[in-house]
Structure 1
Amino acid sequence: MKQKLLIDAIEKNNIEWSTHALQRMLQRGISRAAVKNCICEGELIENYPDDTPFPSALFFGKWQNQPLHTVIAYDASNHKVFLITAYRPDEKHFQADFKTRKK
């Protein structure tokens, strides 16, 4: 998944925020700006090219010195990003770098 395509879609406001994702973001204190920053400035740490209906990916970023993960899907034919979820990773599931899953 090419991050430049995602950035271009986001800059054109071609991002879909599901009600569920927005509710979870509100509960977790994560803003839309934080999510956009994570996708545009963050690092792609897991790629899921075979996901359906669209390929998806996990991004790692930092917002206000806190680690942040966002999971997005990308519809290349419509140049649209779909936010699946956003959360703050923890050391129960990830190594101290918050990029590597624990086995």
Structure 2
Amino acid sequence: MIDMEWIRRCVREQGYFFSRHGDRERRNDGLTLEEVEQAIFTGRILEQYDDTGRGASCLVVGFTHAGKPVHVVCGRWDEGMVIITVTIPTLPKFKTPFERGH
């Protein structure tokens, strides 16, 4: 299981990287690297995902300093962390940053 302490430590120590998909999604949503880090430092784990063949991962929800909600899916990679995807939560997938849509 992944916890926020480990995620934040990876970010503080620059022990993480973006997957190609994660970086593309971040740029598509107009998010900076700093905003993703802000969301992680203010965030909490919303969902934990079992190992689906690439290892366990989790969905972090947090906010930028400007109050923009951000979802970050983080996973373990060797000794560090991979940011699998980054999105701004919107309908229909999410009613609120914390609640899935129907």
Category of TM-score, reference length = shorter chain: 0.7 to 0.9
Residue 91 of structure 1: aligned partner: 91
Residue 33 of structure 1: aligned partner: 34
Change over 3 Å in CA distance of 1:50–1:20 after alignment to 2: closer
Normalised TM-score (structure 2): 0.84
Question: How many Å apart are 1:40 and its aligned residue?
Answer: 2.5
* Aligned equivalents of 2:44, 2:9: Cα separation in 1: 16
Say if 2:5 is the partner of 1:24.
no
Residue 49 of structure 1: aligned partner: 50
Structure 2 residues not aligned, in runs of 5+? none
Question: How many Å apart are 1:100 and its aligned residue?
Answer: 1.4
* Aligned equivalents of 1:89, 1:28: Cα separation in 2: 10
Residue 66 of structure 1: aligned partner: 68
Moved segments of 4+, more than 4 Å: none
Question: How many Å apart are 1:88 and its aligned residue?
Answer: 0.7
- Residue aligned with 2:54, SS: coil
- Residue aligned with 1:83, SS: strand
Structure 1 residues not aligned, in runs of 5+? none
